Every structure is written in C-alpha cells, then in structure tokens.
Structure 1
C-alpha cells in the first residue's frame, strides 16, 4: 500500500485553471467582447472538466488506500493498526493540503473572486483535515496503548499538533531510558557514621 501512497501523493491539482467568466460581455453586441466571452466560457468548461477529473481520481485513490490500510489494521497487530491509522491520516491530510495550496487562477483579479475560490477549496479541505486529525488521534491512542515505539507515537502526536496548530499538546508519552523508571539522583553521597 505504501507504493500506492507514493503515487497518490504525486496527484496534483491541475494548474492553469480558469473559472472567471465576464457575463456582462455576453449579449453586448460588441463582437470583440462576445469573442472574449466565448473564450472565457470555453476555458471555464475545460477547467471544470480538468478539476472534476482530478477530484474523481484523487477520491478514488484515497478510497482504495483507505481500504488497503483497513485490511492491514484488521490483522489485529497493534503496531500495524497504529501505522495504518497514521497512513490514512496522511492520505486525508495530503488531499486537504493539496486543495488549500492550489494555484489561484491568474484571471482572478478582483478580491471577491480570489476569496470565493479560496473559500470554496478551504470548505472542501475542512472535512479532510478533520478525518486526518481523527486518524492521527487513533494512531496515537493505538501506539500508546500497544506500547509501540516511542517514535511511532511521537510521529502521530506531532502530525496531530501540526494539523491543529498546537505545540506538543498531543504527545505526552514518557520516554524511558530502560524498563525501570529512573529515580532522582541523591543530592550528596557520603558515609553514614551513626
């Protein structure tokens, strides 16, 4: 499944998308404006088609990866279950980040177009971010409960912190240097004479 994850992460939002159509040009009777309107309309239709194809492929690939990692978790090995949760978190987080970082079309010169586009992508990314956070929480709980490696639990906690904009709040597992808790060193050492 990790090889498929690499391919999934390589899927990128298409660049050069154009969605802005100046409706006022249509029906103006000015040939130059009418041609510009037709070009804008065609560019928008191509962009919608490209973005729809991307979203369909990305969702399909995400569902397939989630299914594969669920099979891994179903084996019942706690460390693998934690790893599977972490990977599904990566799937959702990567999709959300891809949407949030998508190129803003160059034709969006008006602030309201820019904001509407960014808001629409942010709204689509929000459920993916929540799903990623839930997977990282599950990973952290499984890794902590299973006594998985400190690194695995720390990675899940750090991913959750990064996603939620917190700093070290989600990783509290104590790090031990051995199987026995270390006690505080005595303040002084000496010979008892009494």
Structure 2
C-alpha cells in the first residue's frame, strides 16, 4: 500500500510544460445560394377568384362567381411587381388585347354617386356605391410608400372598439394604439409625420 501511495504522489508531482496551441486558420466558405424557384402563375379559375376576393370562399360561392364572370365575358389578367408577387384583375378580352407590355401606371377609378331616377323611389332598389380607399392610395403623393403596406378598412366593430371608454376598459388603450399606429407615416430623415385622419 505504501508503494501505491508513493507512486501516486510521484505521478502528481510531475508537471508538464504548457505549450502554446495555435489553431489553424481557415477561411469560411459561404454556402451556395439556394436556387430561387420562379413564382407560379395562378390558374384561370384561381385568378378569377383571387381578383374577386373569393379565393377562400365556399365551393357554392366560387361556382357563382365563376358563372357571373363567364356571363359577363371577363377574363383575368396578371400583374407582377418587382418581387414577383402576382395580383389579378378582370377585364374584357378586347381590353386586355390593347394593354401595353408594361403598364406605366395603375390607378383605381373613384365611384361616383348616381343621378336620382324618378322611377326609383325605393332607396333599397338602387344601392349607394361607397367609395373605397383604393382611389385615395393611388392618387396620394405617398402612393409609392402606401403600396408597400397592407391596410384594412375600419368596420363597425373596430369603430365600436375605438369609441369605448378607457376608464371602464383601460386595456383597450393598447388595442387602440395598435390601430392608430397604422395611420401614421413618419419620415425619419426630416422628422415630418402624416396621419390619415378621415377618408370620405
């Protein structure tokens, strides 16, 4: 047992010199970029449904939409931006044939109020055409900036949420802040800000 203890002490007393370790230098080789698949163009029916906002509707509603578009003689056409994102719209085939190869400008047409017809005394027979926000976005001096964002028009539910009393529901101020934040455009270069207040 004494020999075992002396042997262990002898091993512990040996100190090996520390040698500097140099790691090999290597140059990181970037991985090859993955080949980008070109975005597929929608099929005829999907392009029609996408242009009508019925792409995720029920099968019955889709059949109705396709039937109405066929009766009207409309055809879908595709518009792609610089990133390859496709949007669809409808037009008559005679109009599509006159389209330029590269559309210089896309702008929505503002709906106007119709003249009152003496024969239409019922207001429900001639529904009012409510102008949307597309004309405002296309005619705005900030049209290029607005086109990069997605907007949702305020409905009655959102308006009711904004009109609730914060003293009764204090947590709603955070929801209102998120809703109103989307109405602000801030230019960080010159510090100017624009708020979208009302669209009529």
Q: Which has the higher strand share?
A: 2
Structure with more relative contact order (C-alpha pairs < 8 Å, separation 6 or more): 1
Q: Which has the higher helix share?
A: 1
Larger Rg: 2
Same fold (TM over 0.5): no
TM-score with structure 1 setting the length: 0.23
